[in-house]
Chain A
Amino acid sequence: MTVFCSWENTSGGKPEPLIHGQENVAAVIAWGDSAIVDPEVDVVALCHAYSLAVRDNSCGQCIPCRLGTRVIADLFGKIADGRGRPEDLERIRELSQVVSKASFCEVGQDSPKAFIELLDRFKKEFEDALGGAPRDRNAYTYTSMVTAPCIEACPMHLDIPRYIEKIRLGKFSESLDVIKEKLPLPGSVGRVCVRPCESRCRRGKVDEPLQIKHLKRFVADCAAESLPHLEGRVAEAGLPARPREAALKPKVAIVGAGPAGLTCAYFLARKGYRVTIYEILPEPGGMAAVGIPDYRLPRNILAGEVDAIKTLGVEICYGKCLGVDFTLDQLESEGFKGIFIGMGCHCHKRMNIDGEDKGYYGYIPGVLFLRNVNLGLLSEVPRGRKIVVVGGGNVAIDCVRTAFRLGFEEACIVYRRSKAEMPADPVEIKDAEEEGVTFHFLIAPKRVVGANGRVTGLECIRMELSEPDESGRKRPMAIPGSEFIIDADVIVPAIGQDGDYSCLCNLPGVDISAKGTIIVDQNLQTVRGGVFAGGDCITGPATLIQACAHGRLAGLKIDGLLSEGKVEQFEEEAHQVFLKQLQSYKPSESVSLPGGTRRMPIRHEPPAARKLDFREADKGYTAEEAVAEAGRCLRCYRVVTCAFKKK
């Protein structure tokens, strides 16, 4: 039974039950709001614990927050010790109001609001405490954590406000260090991330979200300019360049040198494990290398980041296919104590239309088309004058834009819904439009038309949209009799991907779901002990940052298994699950700040020039631009303190 709860979640209800890890939460203060679940809870001590957390998380840059939170914490400390005076309560209230009105960021603005509310609600408890009423000080323990809407949105939970702040202060290499605490591929992710953080940026409610992705790229590029110092830099960040104790730690094998595998290797190598990655392709990067064209993610950027990981002592064996060149049994018998499977989704989904299987020259699935181009297998890429790509996602956009760069004169996209429903990144769609891609909306493919063994066109049918279905998307319905043919020399289906885990099928202990993904528990471990999996092979096709997040967690879990013999939920995971219930981003919230400071624009190569070759299309920020953009951050840190009853 909740005694008091000051907030409602978006569905209008209370965030119940409040559970952190395995424990029931007795009470919580979460930025402006609070909930007291256990009627016995010591509100005075809870406020004191929260005031300490707020004080310790105040960045110290603005006076009201730095000094105000310090004084508030001192006053609560006095009261909790039974040394408080009646005027102290009023002082806390007034100070909370001033700090909340005058502070620069959310730490100062939001946190003290909870004090005002609790002082009112629990007036008697506070007054009793002034009199030094005896209280059991050891009945509860307190845990504090910090989040922000952008941090919550990031699958990796990167401390975004912190690295942005370091950019604003001109400390670019320290900013990169913040990112590299968790993510070894900042230059790559800084170019192609789908940036869930930006869609949750509260600045977006005022004018436009921050260019978080480009800021990440900026600090990565700053460091890349001084690449020869790479080894020194790694050591600088407190990481052993080549761990000396490596010979003592067990061997770990990783299947797949994609984002998940590389990130997993980074964390294991940093901890001193001897890591070997087995990769089927002739180069590292997985989907990031062969699924994303060079004009979006230049190969030297990815290669530089992979080199940095190799510098930590990671070995990569190329051209090795699981199930063909090696098996899990073999790896285990060779002494690998931990195995991480981080395979990607390289198989295409079929359109299931006539003509797809006729073997026509000119028919090639999107992922294969991009892979062949990226691997330089140009003879395997069908050519012609006009290319038709089917699909509305980022792979479809990558295919049409790549086509121009291969010399196709005309490139078009066929999508069965309308532009509003396209899952592709709007920025990518705009870039494609600028380059002259034609979009055909509300059209579905019906038959691949061919003659003399070659594709000649795509028979299509017009669609109309129904009312939104349970997924919220409008369902396209064919208009009978509206068939027509679009001429095409090359047809590229890009309507989704699947994994190819046939190599795992006969292996005991690794279960595959009906969707074809590997089944893992909440610790990313398969039923086969010591074998972990992450990335696309457990989620189906997803994002680069999600794969990296899995890679990192799996690396840390493997370390837990090999160093302590146990695999368990980390405190940070318990925090994240708990914080999710609190909804740090409220879509309906209005932010009362003057708008009009637009995001720093990105400079591009002009469309006519860039579509002729694979040069990088977007240019990075200059230092001045990055510092100015970083100055737009509202620093929406949220401080949370929970009370738990001691057992």
Chain B
Amino acid sequence: MFECIIDDRVVETEEGTTVLEAARRHGIPIPTLCTLKALGSNRSCRLCVVEAEGPSLAPAVLASCDLKASAGLVIRTATPQLQKIRRTILELLLAGLPENREVQEIARKYNVESTPFEHAGHDECVLCGICITACRAKLGVSALSFAAQGDNERKVAGFVQLDGSACIGCGACANLCPIGAIGFSDAGDKREMSIYGRIVNTLDLVPCASCGRPFTTGKVVDYLETCLEGKVPEVRRVYCPECARVNYAPALIAEQQSRQTGEKA
């Protein structure tokens, strides 16, 4: 444990914590678009910039999601300079995605209503990278990636693309997207994944063995089987969560009790 100073408050924190985490833990809000507790940071939105100065660090503006807290670090999170930077970033986003309602909402949350910049958009999302990180780093699926148009080989992120053969249709990306750019909808026995309103993948759904309602994609079930080396209990494989709970919880409890009795004997 060591101490650093955030906005004149002495903050006690531990090795490996980012300034963003430390600040949040102490109730100091720092805005961010691309960081989620479960996924870490994508270092892309830069809204979380802070002014930092330390024993071996000259004063600098740095992204707090990418800055490890260390002893003696002095942090300011809301100076006029930082407000100006955050405001400009949101104004740029508004200029880049002028028609996007979610982006307008995010900007409004930070009191930015309009942009002085002319329409600068070819983007269809904020390219925060959350969907890609979730798909690759957390799920190990790697169906999503950045892609870019044009012949400049150093362009990395222009849009998000989906590799239909790798996608398992779990929908994690859609649930995490801050602006609803990815979606999925189930119709009949098919699930359609869409990015920027265009259907990019269609997957087969599997019906619940009890109620017959499609509840997930076959690929999700297969992927679970692979990840858990075939140790997925049958109730999780063939029944929808509802039926599993309603119909099989009593049976599971009974089975567990009998096992415990057996162990005692």
Interface, chain A (partner B; CB < 8 A): 56-64, 66-68, 70-71, 74, 91, 94-95, 98, 101-104, 146, 159, 162, 165, 169-171, 590, 592-597, 637
How far is A50 from B98 in the complex, measured between Cα atoms in Å?
26
Known: A66-B123, A596-B70. 17 other contacts (CB 8 A): A59-B157, A60-B146, A60-B157, A61-B129, A63-B44, A63-B45, A67-B96, A101-B49, A102-B49, A102-B88, A103-B46, A146-B154, A593-B57, A593-B60, A593-B62, A595-B56, A637-B154
Q: Which residues of chain B are within 8 angstroms of A637 by Cβ–Cβ distance?
A: 154
B127 at the interface (CB under 8 A from A): yes
B46 touches A60 (CB 8 A): no
17 contacts between A and B (CB under 8 A): A57-B152, A57-B154, A60-B155, A60-B156, A61-B44, A61-B127, A61-B129, A63-B126, A67-B120, A68-B92, A70-B96, A70-B120, A101-B49, A102-B85, A102-B88, A103-B46, A593-B60
Q: Which residues of chain A are within 8 angstroms of B265 by Cβ–Cβ distance?
A: none
Known contacts A169-B146, A594-B57, A594-B62; is-contact A61 B157 (Cβ 8 Å): yes
Residue of A nearest to B49 (CB): A102
Q: How far apart are A137's CB and chain B's nearest CB, in angstroms?
A: 22
B153 at the interface (CB under 8 A from A): yes
B89 touches A64 (CB 8 A): yes
B127 touches A101 (CB 8 A): no
Q: How far apart are B1's CB and chain A's nearest CB, in angstroms?
A: 16
A171 touches B46 (CB 8 A): no
Residue of B nearest to A597 (CB): B68
B158 touches A60 (CB 8 A): yes
A67 touches B92 (CB 8 A): yes
Known contacts A594-B54, A596-B70; is-contact A63 B92 (Cβ 8 Å): yes
Known contacts A57-B152, A61-B157; is-contact A98 B89 (Cβ 8 Å): yes
Known contacts A57-B152, A59-B157, A594-B52; is-contact A67 B62 (Cβ 8 Å): no
Q: How far apart are B217's CB and chain A's nearest CB, in angstroms?
A: 23
Residue of A nearest to B48 (CB): A102
Q: Which residues of chain B are within 8 angstroms of A57 by Cβ–Cβ distance?
A: 152, 154-155
Residue of B nearest to A94 (CB): B88
Q: Which residues of chain A are within 8 angstroms of B148 by Cβ–Cβ distance?
A: 60
How far is A19 from B70 in the complex, measured between Cα atoms in Å?
47
B202 at the interface (CB under 8 A from A): no
Contact of A63 among B58, B62, B93 (CB under 8 A): B93
Known contacts A169-B146, A592-B57; is-contact A67 B93 (Cβ 8 Å): yes
How far is A74 from B127 in the complex, measured between Cα atoms in Å?
21
A592 touches B60 (CB 8 A): yes
Q: Which 9 A-B pairs have the closest CB atoms?
A: A60-B157, A67-B92, A59-B156, A592-B60, A98-B88, A102-B46, A592-B58, A101-B61, A67-B96
A594 touches B92 (CB 8 A): no
How far is A590 from B59 in the complex, measured between Cα atoms in Å?
12
A-facing mask of B70-94, CB < 8 A → 1, else 0? Answer: 1001000000010011001100110
How far is A70 from B118 in the complex, measured between Cα atoms in Å?
11
How far is A532 from B29 in the complex, measured between Cα atoms in Å?
65
A95 touches B88 (CB 8 A): yes
B152 touches A56 (CB 8 A): yes
A74 touches B142 (CB 8 A): no
B150 at the interface (CB under 8 A from A): yes
B63 at the interface (CB under 8 A from A): yes
Q: Which of B93, B126, B153 has the most CB of A within 10 A?
A: B153
Q: Which residues of chain B are within 8 angstroms of A104 by Cβ–Cβ distance?
A: 43-44, 46, 63
How far is A620 from B123 in the complex, measured between Cα atoms in Å?
39
B146 touches A61 (CB 8 A): yes
Residue of A nearest to B56 (CB): A595
A74 touches B118 (CB 8 A): yes
How far is A243 from B209 in the complex, measured between Cα atoms in Å?
55
A101 touches B154 (CB 8 A): no
B2 at the interface (CB under 8 A from A): no
How far is A165 from B157 in the complex, measured between Cα atoms in Å?
12
B67 at the interface (CB under 8 A from A): yes
Q: Which residues of chain B are within 8 angstroms of A595 by Cβ–Cβ distance?
A: 56
Contact of A101 among B85, B126, B152 (CB under 8 A): B85
A61 touches B49 (CB 8 A): no
Q: How far apart are A195's CB and chain B's nearest CB, in angstroms?
A: 22
A-facing mask of B112-130, CB < 8 A → 1, else 0? Answer: 0000111010010011010
Q: Which residues of chain B in 4-50 are interfacial with respect to chain A, using CB atoms and an 8 Å cutoff?
A: 43-46, 49
Q: Which residues of chain B are within 8 angstroms of A101 by Cβ–Cβ distance?
A: 49, 61, 81, 85
Residue of A nearest to B86 (CB): A102
Q: Which residues of chain B in 186-240 are interfacial with respect to chain A, using CB atoms and an 8 Å cutoff?
A: none
A62 touches B44 (CB 8 A): yes
Residue of A nearest to B59 (CB): A592
How far is A595 from B58 in the complex, measured between Cα atoms in Å?
11
B154 touches A64 (CB 8 A): no
B152 touches A64 (CB 8 A): no
B136 at the interface (CB under 8 A from A): yes
B120 touches A98 (CB 8 A): no
Contact of B95 among A61, A67, A594, A597 (CB under 8 A): A67
How far is A331 from B67 in the complex, measured between Cα atoms in Å?
62
Q: Which residues of chain A are within 8 angstroms of B150 by Cβ–Cβ distance?
A: 56
Q: How far apart are A332's CB and chain B's nearest CB, in angstroms?
A: 39
How far is A592 from B53 in the complex, measured between Cα atoms in Å?
10
How far is A169 from B145 in the complex, measured between Cα atoms in Å?
8
Residue of A nearest to B88 (CB): A98
How far is A94 from B80 in the complex, measured between Cα atoms in Å?
14
A170 touches B95 (CB 8 A): no
B45 touches A62 (CB 8 A): yes
How far is A92 from B60 in the complex, measured between Cα atoms in Å?
22
How far is A66 from B120 in the complex, measured between Cα atoms in Å?
10
Residue of B nearest to A109 (CB): B61
Q: How far apart are B45's CB and chain A's nearest CB, in angstroms?
A: 6
How far is A56 from B122 in the complex, measured between Cα atoms in Å?
13
Q: Which of A66, A74, A593 has the most CB of B within 10 A?
A: A66
Q: How far apart are B125's CB and chain A's nearest CB, in angstroms?
A: 11
Q: Which residues of chain B are within 8 angstroms of A63 by Cβ–Cβ distance?
A: 44-46, 89, 92-93, 96, 126-127
Residue of B nearest to A95 (CB): B88
Residue of B nearest to A70 (CB): B120
